[in-house]
Amino acid sequence: MPDALTSRECRAAPGGLRSAPAVALALVLLTAARLAAAAPPPAPAHAAPPPAATPAKPAGATAAAPSAGDAADTRGLDEQVQGLKKDVVDLNRDLFILEEELLFPANTQVAVFLAVDVGDFFGLDSVQLKIDNKEVINYLYTPREVDALLKGGVQRLYIGNLKVGQHELVAFFNGKGPRDRAYRRGASIKFEKGIGAKYLELKINDRQRKLQPEFEIRDWE
């Protein structure tokens, strides 16, 4: 049995990046188990003693004392729940960062962002991205997303991995152009992928002089 486990581990080792979700899942389970272990045991008030064990007291006294204790217990429990919720949110954030680092290491990472400036001459509908003649994303925009972009938002359209060297990115922008006509334009850039992460920006501008939209791709140095 130990041999079988060892051989499975050996096979899994080369695909380290592919097993990232499994690592993340294991981390979640491990941390959840630790949290559960670290959490104080349930308040003893829940394990109420049997009525027979309580000494005989006047009815008014027995009613008042447990209610005050219950309120304190409830408050304590509520604080514990809030603490746990905060831990879960923190853990989720850490796992998200870990997942990004594992799936897209800085030395191979390529990210493409999209921004829109003004947008009077072009109504964005979709963007198709090709890297080295291979389609990597075809993204459809909803009216809400377009509104967010027009308000100055920048969207991370794509994140992936590329080898070091020369690459070509081609972007096709589909939408409605001047006079509400179907409009499709392309833009391309050849870029050098170095050792660090690469960031590219697609930008849609209005060219006021020609009353036409303008599409450009910039390399964030």
Partner 1 sequence: MRVLLQCTALALLGAGGVALAQRSYGLIARTAPDFTLHAVAGGNVRLSEHRGEVVVLSFWSSGCGTCRRQLDALNRSLATYRSAGLAVYGVGVDDVPARAAEYARGILVAFPMLLDPDKAVGRAYEVDNLPMTVLIDRSGTIRNVLRDFSAKSDDIYLEQLRVLLNE
Chain residues 102-141 in contact with partner 1, contact rule CB under 8 A = 125-126, 139-141
- For partner 1, which is the closer residue by CB, 183 or 193? 183
The answer to whether residues 163 and 178 touch, using CB atoms and an 8 Å cutoff, is no
Least distance in angstroms from the C-beta of 159 to partner 1: 18
Least distance in angstroms from the C-beta of 165 to partner 1: 33
- For partner 1, which is the closer residue by CB, 66 or 177? 177
Stretch 142-161: interaction string toward partner 1, x if CB under 8 A: xxxxx---------------
Given the DSSP bridges, would you call strands 109-116 and 198-207 parallel, antiparallel or unpaired? Answer: parallel
Least distance in angstroms from the C-beta of 142 to partner 1: 5
Least distance in angstroms from the C-beta of 123 to partner 1: 9
By the rule CB under 8 A, 88 interacts with partner 1: no
Which helix H or strand E contains 10, and what residues bound it? Answer: helix 2-12
**H/E/C letters for each residue in 50-88?**
CHHHCCCCCHHHHHHHHHHHHHHHHHHHHHHHHHHHHHH
In 4-153, the DSSP E strands lie at 109-116, 123-131, 134-140
In the chain, the DSSP E strands lie at 109-116, 123-131, 134-140, 154-161, 165-176, 182-193, 198-207, 212-220
- For partner 1, which is the closer residue by CB, 67 or 142? 142
- For partner 1, which is the closer residue by CB, 146 or 162? 146
Least distance in angstroms from the C-beta of 182 to partner 1: 12
By the rule CB under 8 A, 182 interacts with partner 1: no
**Residue from 91, 83, 71, 121 nearest 29 by CA:** 91
Task: Count the site residues for partner 1 by CB under 8 A.
Answer: 10
Contact residues for partner 1 (CB under 8 A)?
125-126, 139-146
